[in-house]
Structure 1
Amino acid sequence: MDVDPHLTTGPRPDNASAAFGATATRPAVVLQVLPTLVTGGAERGCIDVAIGLAEAGAVPLVASQGGPMVRELDRAGIKHITLPLASKNPLTIRRNAKRLEQVIREHGVDIVHARSRAPAWSAWMACGRTGAHFMTTFHAPYNFKGGLKRWYNSVMARGERVIAISEFVRDHVLANYDVDPARVRLIHRCYDPSVFAPERVNSARIIQLAKQWRLPDDRPVILLPGRLTRWKGQIVLIEALEKLVRTLGHKDLCCLLVGSDQGRSGYRQELEERAKRAGLEGVVRLTGDCSDMAAAYTLATVVVSASREPEAFGRVIVEAQAMGKPVIVTSIGAYRETVIPGETAWVVPPDDADALAKALGEALALSDAERAAIGAHAQAFVSQRFTKERMVAETLAVYGELLGA
């Protein structure tokens, strides 16, 4: 769908404080609502924006059911309000609307920013009763097969402003929901340059992680980060490795599947058994979660996203390029926005083990100089488009639009 970019991209101030102007009679109060603060891109963006609001002199509030990331808000001195916002029960959603109405009135909330559907319904009702501004972020192209699910999803299109995290998501929203394009703002997800930069990862961290994973010194490392779920394509990567090893005639490789199974023990066992049948014991390793992904990227020779379903953005691939790594992605979702095909990335069809094996072979055959050149190009590409500072500034600019700054 062709859309006038001037209608879908808000102002881009040079700093966050510009979003609120200098004439406000009191600091703006912005409440972000989401189900939990456990892990994920929506949660990371919420915290980054909350901190950006505080630095701009506004008052940030966050409401969720809680989780380990609440500690980051506590360290920043940002108030977290615990509510059962992860529940999709209609009665709980209505009760949450009453609770949010009280929060809005008690704290003088100007804007409520919803980042997920169930809390968005509660926030929409509360804003209707209080007059607070209501806005949303579409973090995914929510699926629907019938009218009821589409109606449930539609709350995310009811905001006075609707942020889409990629062009792919924006086009989905405009194609499937009754929303004025003038209300939609494209603000890409981001990476944190203070974390994902090669020069910020010291040798001690790299050595510690290599020892933890018992990595051999003389093998190229293929890294696939992502929770263990079928749509992330770990099975396809194992099939590609089987073909690659058969072609090369040796097993001088190491493949790391980094991510939690989140209770999917059956799928984890399936992956282990598939690797064993392929003769890849010792080659394919399931590491579980990693608390130092910057070091993990540093250890990688090539980073793979083998997703079988569209990625709304693809933060892993952006982080890997920020770390100067060649990447392989599948040709669905927002990949056209996050890589330069043929320059910073190999692009392969989803569920195509042959194409993935071929791309892996080419990536592993690069000389050190070729790998460094691709890495430098990738770093320059993502640093111009996807930094945390830019995402925060653009989001605060949307708040400024609602407040008439």
Structure 2
Amino acid sequence: MSITQNHTILNPAAKRAPDTGTVGGGENPSQKPPVTILQVLPALGGSGGVERGTVEIAGCISAQGWGSLVASNGGERVYQLQRAGADHFQLPLHSKNPLTIYANISKLEKLIKEQGVDIVHARSRAPAWSAYYACQRTGTAFVTTFHGTYSVGTALKRFYNSIMTRGDRVIAISKFIAGHLKQMYGAPGDKIRIIHRGVDLDSFNAGLVSAERVVKLSQTWRLEDGYPVVMLPGRLTRWKGQAVFIEAIAALGRNDIRCVLVGSDQGRTGYRKELERLIEQNGLSSVVRIFDHCDDMPAAYMMADVVVSASTDPEAFGRVVIEAQALGRPVVAPDHGGACETIIEGQTGWLFPPGDKAALAEALRSALSLDEDGRRAFAERALTSVREHFSKDAMCEKTLNVYREVLRERGRDV
């Protein structure tokens, strides 16, 4: 059985490597923390919301003085996890092979027993199947987070997805997802807890984004001074609506703006070429540009005059909207999914019918017509909304409260 934990022997009182502290952030490496939470997910690579949320919650667990553990197949975010005060255990949880999923049950069972895990929090389907049966064997509490709608398709696929509804508590990342859980899987409402994703207001803070950072990015992207910037962040995939956005810009009929699509094609070179052809066909080569990646999204948002989401399928939540609002940017998004919960129509942004390029163009026209006072009012309302409802701190505290709720049901008061 192979379980790797930072080159450390796996046992109930395992010490970390010298540069990462002790399990749960305590002073004594042999002292068992009052509560130990194990999060499981396929891997810790990339920039997805699942991976980012796992690291954020791991840090909150550790800051609480609890044991914070994560099991995955690893990735570049393991370093961030360790900096957050958590321990990582490498297991092949990324695999959807039924034999590997079955083998992972015993591996997780061993991990749960040796680390004294109180709650296993599953964030993806394949690891959730292994974790569920490991929890059944050990009598450990099981919590899930439902991050997306998943494709339903066949009865077998629906059954595979349904593991995410079997938690003692099921966290839905939006009201939209909570409704989906009830409608598609018959999940009982008394088990569902809605916890919106949160934005880190320390990182996405307009007062901390220097002019130098914005200028540097603008120069890297070769954006001329004096042009309003409209930005659509998101990986290049059809349902993210880049084609709708390009056609809306064409309908807007303005050459005095600059529009940027920010996101990797992740190997979808055919779709990228299709977008490039669409830009050329609409005579927008000087207006619309595509950039693969951005390492400084706060600076990118600050450079933008308007931030757009154009997804043709409903976003489970849509972190772009709250990140942009945290930095005082007007936002435009389709009137479905999580955006309906994060945008106050006409107050913090605009909603348009999904896929409607003419309506998107009209919303962009309204956003670009704001004067200085109007932009300032939008920024104040948007930041207030994010602070009150969509901060990382609020997300973390609500998640910890779910853990406490589950433990109280088992006679534990923490």
Do the two structures share a fold, i.e. TM-score over 0.5?
yes
* Match status 1:40 vs 2:48: yes
2-structure distance, mates of 1:219, 1:67: 39
Task: Give per-residue Cα distances to partners, 1:230-258, cap 9 Å, x unaligned.
Answer: 0000001110111112xx4xx11111101
Cα distance, 1:26 vs structure 2: 4.6
Name the TM-score, length of structure 2 as normaliser.
Answer: 0.89
Tell me the residue number matched to 1:54: 62
Answering whether residue 392 of structure 2 is matched by residue 388 of structure 1, we say yes
Compare 135-144 and 55-64 and name the one that shifted more: 135-144
Out of 96, 102, 113, the residue aligned to residue 88 of structure 1 is: 96
AA aligned opposite 1:118? A
How big is each residue's C-alpha offset from its partner over 1:316-350, in whole Å with a ceiling of 9 and x where there is no partner?
A: 00111111011111011122211101211111111
1:278 aligns with 2:282: yes
1:175 deviates by 1.6
* Partner of residue 169 from structure 2, selected from 151, 161, 165: 161
Question: After TM superposition, where is structure 1 displaced by more than 4 Å over at least 4 residues in a row?
Answer: none
Task: Kindly indicate whether the alpha-carbon contact (under 8 Å) linking 2:142 and 2:168 is maintained by their aligned counterparts in 1.
Answer: yes
* Structure 2 stretches lacking a partner, 5+ long: 1-23, 25-30
Equivalent positions of 1:234-273 (< 5 A) are 234-245=242-253, 248=254, 251-273=255-277
1:140 counterpart (140, 148, 170): 148
Out of 184, 191, 197, the position equivalent to 1:183 is: 191
- Could you tell me which of 360, 367, 371 is aligned with 2:371? 367
Question: Conserved in 1, the CA contact under 8 Å of 2:144 and 2:165?
Answer: yes
Does 1:314 find its partner at 2:322?
no
1:305 maps to: 309
Deviation at 1:208, TM superposition (A): 1.1
* Amino acid across the alignment from 2:35: A
Q: CA deviation at 1:146?
A: 2.1
1-structure distance, mates of 2:313, 2:187? 25
Q: CA deviation at 1:142?
A: 2.1
Give the % identical residues: 52
On the 8 A contact 2:242/2:261 being kept in 1, the answer is yes
Tell me: higher relative CO, structure 1 or 2? Use CA pairs within 8 A at least 6 residues apart.
1
Q: Matches of 1:64 and 1:282 in 2, distance apart? A: 44
The residue number in structure 1 matching 2:209 is 201
Corresponding residue SS for 2:389: coil
Aligned with 2:346 (options 342, 345, 367): 342
Instruction: Note if 1:107 corresponds to 2:115.
Output: yes
The worse-fitting range, judged by mean Cα deviation, of 224-233 and 137-146 is: 137-146
Determine helix, strand or coil for the equivalent of 1:31.
strand
2:71 aligns to what?
A: 63
2:126 counterpart residue number: 118
Mean CA deviation greater in 74-83 or 48-57: 74-83
Q: Partner amino acid for 1:72?
A: Q
Count of paired positions: 379
Measure the CA separation in 2 of the matches of 1:79 and 1:260.
30
Q: Which whole-Å CA distance do the structure 2 matches of 1:176 and 1:229 have between them? A: 25
Question: What is the CA distance between 1:366 and its match in structure 2?
Answer: 1.4
Match of 1:6 in 2: none
2:223 equivalent in structure 1: 215
Root mean square deviation of aligned Cα: 1.4
Q: Which runs of 5+ in 1 are unaligned?
A: 1-16, 18-23
- Aligned partners of 2:370, 2:405: CA distance in 1, in Å? 48
Aligned to 2:13: none
1:27 Cα shift? 1.7
Tell me the amino acid that sits aligned with residue 239 of structure 1: E
Q: Structure 2 counterpart of 1:347, which letter?
A: L
Whether the 8 Å CA contact 2:62–2:85 is kept in 1: the answer is: no
1:62 corresponds to which letter in structure 2? Answer: V
**Partner in structure 2 of residue 230 of structure 1:** 238
Q: Is the 8 A contact 2:55 2:84 kept in 1?
A: no
Partner amino acid for 2:144?
T
User: Is residue 79 from structure 1 mapped to residue 87 from structure 2 by the alignment?
Assistant: yes
Structure 2 CA distance for aligned equivalents of residues 374 and 132 of structure 1: 47
State the alpha-carbon separation in 1 of the partners of residues 33 and 288 from structure 2: 57
Quote the Cα distance in structure 1 between the aligned partners of 2:218 and 2:312: 29
Which residue number corresponds to residue 179 of structure 2? 171
How far apart, CA to CA, are the structure 2 residues paired with 1:183 and 1:350?
31
SS in 1 for 2:289: strand
1:148-186 deviations in Å (ceiling 9; x for gaps): 111111100000011011000001111222432211111
Mapped to 1, the partners of 2:214 and 2:275 lie a distance apart of 26
> The residue matched to 1:384 in structure 2 has which SS?
helix
Aligned equivalents of 1:140, 1:128: Cα separation in 2: 25
Distance 1:70 1:139 in 2: 21
Instruction: Flag the 1:169–1:233 CA change in 2: closer, same or farther, 3 A.
Output: same
Partners of 2:386 and 2:395 in 1: how far apart? 13
Counterpart AA for 2:262: V
AA matched with 1:33: V
CA distance in structure 2 between the partners assigned to 1:34 and 1:191 by the alignment:
21
Q: 1:140 aligns to what SS in structure 2?
A: coil
Deviation, structure 1 residue 62: 0.4
Query: Displacement of 1:282 after TM fit?
Result: 2.2
- 1:25 Cα deviation from its structure 2 partner: 8.5
CA distance in 1, matches of 2:70, 2:374: 45
- Give me the TM-score of the superposition, normalised by structure 1: 0.91
Alignment partners' CA distance in 2, 1:25 and 1:50: 17
Match for 1:182: what amino acid?
A: D
